[in-house]
Amino acid sequence: MQWIAIILLGWPAAIAGSVLIASGILRHSARMTLAGAILAAGFILYIAINPPPFRQMGLVALVGNFLCAYAVKRRTMGTAVFFALPFLVLEVYLAWAVLTE
């Protein structure tokens, strides 16, 4: 049971979500982008339960991922990339913080 929580709330979900979001943007697939947003939601919500500024960053990233899927559906790829950036920046920052610890 512990492994399910690790997979859904940890780095595997974040990495798989990032890959699906990026692939969805590149392939113009709103379903793939939405799947990435849903998959990454557990990781983002786990980050959002931390004190500020991570709470706000997590909530912005969560909303941004779903807006990214909507932008892909509307075929506005520049906007989709803009909405995907908060999650990618948050993910890269956290990975850097973990690896340099």
- Judge whether residue 1 has pLDDT over 80: no
CA atoms of 54 and 19, how far apart (whole Å)? 22
Contact between 38 and 60 under an 8 Å Cβ cutoff? The reply is no
CB 25 within 8 A of CB 84: yes
**CB contact at 8 A, 17 and 43:** yes
At 34-82, the pLDDT tens digits run 999 999 999 999 999 999 999 999 999 999 999 999 999 999 999 999 9
pLDDT class of 84 with cuts at 50, 70, 90: very high
Least Cα distance to 43 among 74, 71, 15 occurs for 15
Instruction: Output the pTM of the full model.
Output: 0.92
